[in-house]
Chains A and B, each alone.
Chain A
């Protein structure tokens, strides 16, 4: 076994090596994809090593370099980061398999650049996960933004350019315009940006208390990747990217890096105690709790009006991300726990949905919800996975997504915010309407007149690619298995939430 400290270092460098390998095998697609998969497997092994060590109570760390006095680039694993790292690296493997099926199925150009950017992005995500201080976190946060830009603009047409401009514009504007000053301000007051159990503001209560709300606002909106409204427009616009990018980066790595950062800032910089009860910053988080609540409902309402499946899922993500922000801003132990669990549960659920959307596109070139009537009978496995994913997002047992909702409601009750419970209930109902209606239509309605009939393989060009089995026409096997796998994962995670709870307990001050 390698030491967990070394595993942290390697988890940053292995994807970079993978990136180089992908570049070297530019002309040999099979070797190139093998490089990606091997890198993914090694990375998963490394993150699991760290995960286990953290579970055993260790806090492995590593100091890379001291840039300015008191500002090191350093890493330290703690439960939330280790969890995020395992989710990201595990789902990267799944997504790489899916990417191979998708990118080959749709004959995308620039596949080498695609896999290289992905590898850099995952390295940046690891940096975010293991960052020991805000300064390090900010560095990798920006690398993550920049490395995903080529993925968003992959198609290179006018639409992609526009999407890319908004993507980069919003994420850079919020991070440089709000997050960076917030970090420097924190540093100017406290002289450190180190993530500390219990927060660093409690010791500087006098200086921080009057500006707690301002700082919290700078962080909440500055971490644009958390897509708290109105900092969300980059996310729907990122949907111009190929589906594997949307599935992995804009349902898992990038957006989770955002809400993960918010949780870390609230727990390890502000400190839950500082924001709640008799702490110096008590009450400062309440306005942001409401903004998150409004964001949840508003994004769901917008999602209902989107006919494009990926756009609908994107707004659903905006809504679901605000659950995590909400949990953090409740400033209660159960709220934070709910937010942390939501990171894991939503990753599995939303990734399933996106991969299903991609599978439908690959097999039948359909992107609009209104075109999907009757499709369930042609693609039963895909839509079966879709139902499981949707149920997890909604929060129905026995799927993983039900636990975060449960803890968030507990947290709201602890904070005395009963109206938030109502918000969570309404949101679940909205989710039922706009998510479950898709498979319901697909299974129960007949295809509308003039809609493409079930397409046979000999219909040629625009029919898409995939596997044919009687009347069924599913996506290629590499596009079909990953969503089934993650949907099963969402089901299994439901039964292990107790273990997850115990694992995350140090986050809220428990043993």
Chain B
């Protein structure tokens, strides 16, 4: 039994087995070091897996050697290998980053639980991504969600509103998960199987009430999880009041994984002959994506809390991903996958910069950012560069995303969508520009609640943050990994779905 043969299960098994050990460790530094080590190990396995997949194209692994459709199958193709790499890479960057931030924001006695929960959250996200079994998706989705509720609630030490934010998310998230599992149940009723590939085969030609209802339940359930406008109401508060490191991690990964689930169900479980798919693209994803891009962006402009502003921006960015999907072309799907990856890089870096400010200024209000370039120049530049990336300035990943998306829009004949995309990124210019101006051109407060000492964040935070900032630039110039893989993944997904590749 060689390790290579067991490779596909490692990304889930490693953190799942090693996470509980954090609870046995003494409070303080130890749980953090342990969690960091685990996240790096997981990242290594995911990177290895991606290399394997890019050679063979598709890896199928039977858990406990129980053959599908009865047993659970892990089924890794390029699309989810890319998302796996993304989640584990973000974890590998955020975990080392977290220590100082977490020490300042949550009770030290909770640190073993905190890092344990964070690892479990990562496990859940990886599990959702890797599995080829529809019910297994639900199980891992709940694992990640439950740990996220706990993590958000741990922000209560700094701000009690974290408790209501967490409870809100708990209610909404549970409704979403319930809808999702009802949908799966209906599909099971219609086909008698839970394996995705098997579901795909058995759903071909089926178009009855049961399948239609199942599809609708899944769409709404996942829509809640990925904060599709107007089902995003849980998100701004959850992101704003969670501990800063948690926000950086879940903002970069959780909604992306939900988008991936949507893609997987649309393209690998259902097929293009199913009439509801076309309707969902045209009447659900396209208008809601566009509405999210604009309404959430505009909401972001009027936020005085930078974390909430970025949270609204996330809702808007999810709109881009939905829009790309809704074109139902290879280009559109590529654009969505690329943006899933790129948006994680920018939002991760932005929320990390905010975490640095919270550490030194104790606040994420925009007033705390006044004159930041004089107080914390290294953090300021990280924020500025990733902010430019969010706007879509050339040489950053944001530009690559925008290029793919625009090209897809024009190629699909939706030229008006092309103009709406750039119009919406101009709103991003407004809200990022507002913070940038405060950081660069205002004088820092010398007294009062927003006074900060002239001291940048510690290196343990700056280095991981700049790794992400550098990734923002690197993948803005080299798109072999993101664009190239996404294109191949999209073509493969399209072929399975029966669209014209």
Contacts and interface: CB of A to CB of B under 8 A. Distances in A.
B384 to A, nearest CB: 10
B441 A156 contact: yes
B390 to A, nearest CB: 12
A67 B484 CA distance: 11
Contact of A68 (B418, B437, B483): B483
B423 interface: yes
Nearest to B421: A181
A142 B483 CA distance: 22
Contacts of A71: 403
B394 A188 contact: no
Contacts of B483: 68
B406 A172 contact: no
B415 interface: yes
Contacts of A178: 422
Specify the main secondary structure of chain B where it touches its partner: helix
B335 to A, nearest CB: 11
B410 A185 contact: yes
A124 to B, nearest CB: 11
B429 A173 contact: yes
A197 interface: no
B264 interface: no
B426 A176 contact: yes
Given A67-B479, A172-B429, A188-B407, A180 B400 contact: no
Contacts of B415: 185
Contact of B479 (A68, A173, A184): A68
Interface string B376-406: 0000000000001001111100001011101
Interface residues of B, number: 31
B395 A65 contact: no
Contact of A180 (B411, B422, B437): B422
A153 interface: yes
Contacts of A161: 437, 441
Contact of A139 (B394, B425, B433): B394
B380 to A, nearest CB: 13
B283 interface: no
B113 to A, nearest CB: 44
A165 interface: yes
Contacts of B388: 146
A168 interface: yes
Contacts of B394: 138-139, 142-143
B158 to A, nearest CB: 32
B441 to A, nearest CB: 5
A204 to B, nearest CB: 13
Contacts of A139: 394-395
A187 interface: yes
A169 B404 CA distance: 24
B261 to A, nearest CB: 27
Contacts of A164: 437, 441
B419 interface: yes
A176 B388 CA distance: 12
B260 to A, nearest CB: 22
Interface string A151-185: 00100100011001100110011001110110011
B400 A181 contact: no
B472 to A, nearest CB: 14
Contact of B425 (A142, A146, A165, A176): A176
B213 interface: no
A65 B478 contact: yes
A184 B418 contact: yes
Interface string B164-199: 000000000000000000000000000000000000
A139 B402 CA distance: 13
B17 interface: no
Contacts of B425: 176
B477 interface: yes
Interface string B411-450: 1000100110011011001000100010011000000000
A146 B393 contact: yes
A23 to B, nearest CB: 13
Given A168-B433, A172-B429, A187-B407, A177 B423 contact: yes
Given A67-B477, A142-B393, A184 B407 contact: yes
A177 B418 contact: no
A233 to B, nearest CB: 16
Contacts of B402: 180
Contacts of A188: 407, 410-411
Nearest to B487: A69
Given A142-B394, A146-B393, A65 B429 contact: no
A177 B400 contact: no
A178 B419 CA distance: 8
A184 B403 contact: yes
A161 to B, nearest CB: 5
A169 B483 CA distance: 30
B377 to A, nearest CB: 12
Contacts of B476: 67
Contacts of A187: 407
B499 to A, nearest CB: 19
B403 A185 contact: no
B441 A153 contact: yes
Nearest to B395: A139
A432 to B, nearest CB: 40
Contact of A185 (B418, B477, B479): B418
A181 B418 CA distance: 7
A172 B406 CA distance: 17
A134 to B, nearest CB: 12
Nearest to B484: A69
Contacts of B429: 169, 172-173, 176
Interface in A58-75: 65, 67-68, 71, 73
A168 B404 CA distance: 25
A172 B426 contact: yes
A160 B477 CA distance: 33
A494 to B, nearest CB: 39
A370 B147 CA distance: 72
Contacts of A176: 391-392, 422, 425-426, 429
3 interchain residue pairs of minimum CB distance: A188-B410, A139-B394, A184-B406
5 contacts: A68-B403, A73-B477, A153-B441, A160-B441, A173-B426
Interface of A: 65, 67-68, 71, 73, 138-139, 142-143, 146, 150, 153, 156, 160-161, 164-165, 168-169, 172-173, 176-178, 180-181, 184-185, 187-189
